[in-house]
């Protein structure tokens, strides 16, 4: 049996290795367009490779996949994060879990994963061709004809694992696949505003952010950057809102509660407590709720609080303005920036085109798809790679 895997990334390698292990007598070839193999694995997780996540039950995993979601329940039932951890361990790669449940190789070096995959390929006699770009693919009876500009190959089974490549989606559309228009996901928000200007690096452990006129609302750590806002709360919004925010050209307003779920009334009460208990304390010197001091001073000044006055003399008008700014600060977002640690594409081959029990194309026998080429994407945390591992594993078992 001749199997050709197109794409030398995470999903391509994982499919090829597992197919070769299950069928040692088959001839497996990986074709990669560029001169580099596993290049995204190399840069992933800031060079450490956030390879998977500590959550393992399918019900716990699917909420992290805005595209895929419930459809992935049965996928993770077949091959979940813990299976990946075992898989790596059986091949000599140990992993460790961080407090937020992200998992990395114990070396904290993505090269460990790359070396593991390349070693397996060598052991299993998998042929790898680089600088080999798929230009055309056609079905000819039970066989597939795969063409680049320079060479043609014939395969009995084909795995497409070309990631988010617009040119390759066009080639697949010619075969007859339906594609959801790709748009970026996992990005940060561009905001120019005097309230956060010059405060880059300041973090809020549990902010709550709502995009006005939408149902999009997320909470979690938030970070002020040079160009606006980042951190898990913002990245989650960018992922869930990937399509909606693209439609409005990334121009929208957000309401920020810097104090998570504290209500305006509670904050007003707590300001009053400060007023009664510490009437002589200079307001700008004593942030409430451990807010970063530079932010507190800047927001106090913005609200018209005199830098010299103590809590005992805080006028009602300024107190109300402070409460509003802390719990319902309205900010205008104008554009997005790349989150360099991880970004993905929302969109790709529609999931209705694939049987997720096998990852075989419903309308094309012998053709399988895995990884980001499909309309599956997730929040940060090792979930995007896990979709590649699960898809690749299922292909190896069903092919």
Determine the Cα–Cα distance for residues 254 and 244; give it in Å rounded to an integer: 14
Q: What is the per-residue binding string for ligand FAD in 140-169, x denoting contact by CB under 6 A?
A: ---------------------xxx-x--x-
Residues with Cβ < 8 Å from 270, sequence gap 6 or more? 288, 289
Smallest distance, ligand FAD to C-beta of residue 159, A: 10
Please check whether residue 175 is in contact with residue 145, taking contact to mean a CB–CB distance below 8 angstroms: no
Rounded Cα–Cα distance for residues 112 and 101 (Å): 20
Interaction between residue 342 and ligand FAD (CB under 6 A): yes
Residue 13: partners with Cβ closer than 8 Å, 6 or more residues away? 30, 37, 38, 117, 121, 392
67 interacts with ligand FAD by CB under 6 A: no
Site for ligand FAD in 248-277 (CB under 6 A): none
Contacting residue, 62, 224, 299, 388, with ligand FAD by CB under 6 A:
388
Separation of alpha carbons 216 and 255, rounded Å: 11
5, 9, 319, 395: which one contacts ligand FAD (CB under 6 A)? Answer: 9
- Which member of 3, 4, 5, 11 binds ligand FAD (CB under 6 A)? 11
Nearer to ligand FAD, 44 or 274 (CB): 44
d(CA 300, CA 287) in angstroms, rounded, equals: 10
Q: Give yes or no for residue 236 binding ligand FAD (CB under 6 A).
A: no
Q: Does 372 bind ligand FAD (CB under 6 A)?
A: yes
E strand or H helix at 251? strand 251-257
Q: Does residue 241 bind ligand FAD (CB under 6 A)?
A: no
In the complex with ligand FAD, which residue's Cβ is closer, 158 or 237?
Answer: 158
Work out how close the CB of 105 gets to ligand FAD at its nearest, in angstroms, rounded to a whole number: 11
Q: Would you say how long the chain is, in residues?
A: 399
The pattern of x and - marking residues 87 through 106 that bind ligand FAD according to CB under 6 A reads --------------------
Rule CB under 6 A: is residue 336 a binding residue for ligand FAD?
Answer: no
Closest CA to 337 of 199, 206, 192, 215: 192
40 binds ligand FAD (CB under 6 A): yes
CB of 254 to ligand FAD, least distance (A): 25
Among the listed ranges 29-37, 60-68, 217-225, 272-280, the one in contact with ligand FAD (CB under 6 A) is 29-37
Q: What gap in Å lies between CA 140 and CA 156, rounded to an integer? A: 10
Q: Exactly one of 344, 349, 351, 356 binds ligand FAD (CB under 6 A); which one?
A: 344
Q: Are 36 and 111 in contact (CB under 8 A)?
A: no
DSSP per residue over 262-284, as a string? --HHHHHHHHHHHHHH-TTSBGG
Closest CB 179 distance from ligand FAD, rounded Å: 14
Residue 34 interacts with ligand FAD (CB under 6 A)?
Answer: yes
Burial of 68-106, coded b for 16+ CB within 10 Å and e otherwise, reads beebbeebbebbbbebbbebbeeeebebeeeeeebbbbe
Query: From the CB of residue 376, how many other CB atoms can be counted at a distance below 10 Å?
Result: 29
Nearer to ligand FAD, 44 or 95 (CB): 44
Report if residue 138 touches ligand FAD, rule: CB under 6 A: no
Q: Pick from 31, 88, 379, 399: which binds ligand FAD (CB under 6 A)?
A: 31
- Name the segment binding ligand FAD (CB under 6 A); options: 7-15, 112-120, 219-227, 310-318: 7-15
Is 85 a residue that touches ligand FAD (CB under 6 A)? no
Of 20, 30, 33, 242, the one binding ligand FAD (CB under 6 A) is 33
Interacting residues of 159 by C-beta distance below 8 A, sequence separation 6+: 3, 4, 5, 6, 12, 15, 16, 19, 368, 369, 370, 395, 399
- Residues in contact with ligand FAD by the rule CB under 6 A: 6-12, 31-34, 39-40, 43-45, 49-50, 133-134, 161-163, 165, 168, 341-344, 371-373, 382-385, 388
């Amino acid at each position: 049996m001749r199997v050709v895997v197109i794409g030398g990334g995470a999903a391509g390698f994982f499919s090829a290795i597992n197919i070769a292990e299950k069928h040692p007598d088959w001839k497996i070839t990986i074709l990669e367009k560029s001169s580099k193999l596993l290049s995204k694995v190399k840069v992933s997780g800031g060079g450490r490779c956030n390879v998977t996540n500590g959550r393992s039950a399918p019900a716990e995993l699917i909420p992290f996949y805005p595209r895929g979601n419930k459809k992935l329940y049965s996928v993770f039932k077949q091959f979940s994060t813990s299976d990946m951890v075992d898989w790596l361990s059986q091949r000599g790669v140990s992993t460790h879990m961080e407090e937020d449940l992200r998992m990395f190789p114990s070396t904290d070096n993505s090269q460990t994963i790359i070396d593991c995959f390349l070693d397996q390929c060598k052991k299993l006699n998998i042929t790898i061709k680089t600088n080999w770009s798929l230009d055309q693919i056609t079905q000819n009876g039970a066989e597939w004809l795969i063409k680049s500009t320079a060479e043609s190959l014939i395969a009995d089974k084909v795995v497409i694992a070309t990631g988010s490549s617009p040119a390759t989606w066009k080639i697949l559309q010619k075969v007859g696949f339906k594609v959801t228009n790709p748009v970026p996901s996992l990005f940060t928000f561009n905001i120019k505003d005097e309230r956060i200007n010059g405060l880059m690096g300041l973090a809020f452990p549990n902010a709550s952010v709502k995009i006005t006129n939408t149902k999009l609302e997320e909470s979690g750590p938030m970070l002020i950057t040079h160009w606006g806002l980042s951190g898990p709360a913002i990245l989650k919004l960018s992922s869930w809102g990937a399509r909606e925010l693209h439609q409005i050209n990334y121009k929208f307003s957000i309401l920020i509660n810097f104090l998570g779920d504290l209500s305006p009334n509670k904050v007003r009460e707590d300001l009053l407590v400060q007023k009664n208990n510490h009437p002589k304390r200079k307001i700008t010197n004593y942030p409430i709720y451990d807010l970063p001091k530079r932010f507190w001073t800047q927001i106090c000044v913005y609200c018209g609080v005199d830098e010299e006055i103590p809590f005992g003399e805080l006028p009602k008008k300024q107190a109300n303005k402070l409460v509003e700014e802390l719990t319902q600060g309205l900010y205008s977002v104008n554009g997005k920036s790349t989150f360099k640690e991880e970004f993905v594409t929302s969109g790709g081959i529609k999931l209705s085109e694939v049987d997720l029990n096998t990852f075989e194309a419903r309308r094309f026998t012998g053709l399988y798809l895995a990884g980001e080429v499909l309309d599956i994407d997730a929040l940060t945390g090792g979930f995007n790679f896990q979709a590649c591992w699960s898809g690749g594993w299922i292909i190896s078992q069903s092919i």
